[in-house]
């Protein structure tokens, strides 16, 4: 079950983890997914080792407590994306 905007895709309004082929991961509320990439609102970006946290530690912490929305809007390019999962599906 998504939100009321059925034309925006199943992940619209859902907080997702976007893994990439770079050293960064993104967590944010999905707006839309297009061939260009994934559009996130209220997002955060974490680089491996940033603030002493690995990407996995960062994701687990976000799954337990939520994420701090530091980036109002961002597009993660499709050619960087390796996986998109709902944050609620991440094991804490």
* 52 lines the binding site for another protein (CB under 8 A): no
Query: Which of 23, 49, 54, 88 touches another protein by CB under 8 A?
Result: 88
Site size for another protein, by CB under 8 A?
17
Out of 34, 49, 50, 68, the only residue in the binding site for another protein (CB under 8 A) is 68
Do 39 and 13 meet the contact criterion of CB atoms below 8 Å apart?
no
Helical (H) or strand (E) element with 59: helix 55-65
Residue 72 φ then ψ, to 5°: -60, -45
Interacting residue ranges for another protein, rule: CB under 8 A: 1-4, 13-15, 29, 64-69, 86-88
């Amino acid at each position: 079950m998504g939100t009321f905007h059925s034309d925006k895709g199943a992940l619209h309004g859902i907080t997702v983890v976007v893994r990439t082929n770079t050293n960064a991961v993104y967590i944010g509320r999905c707006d839309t997914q297009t061939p260009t990439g994934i559009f996130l609102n209220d997002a955060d970006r974490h680089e491996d080792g940033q603030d002493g946290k690995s990407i996995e530690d960062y994701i687990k912490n976000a799954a337990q407590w939520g994420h701090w929305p530091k980036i109002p809007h961002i597009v993660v390019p499709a050619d960087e994306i390796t996986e998109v999962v709902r944050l609620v599906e991440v094991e804490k």
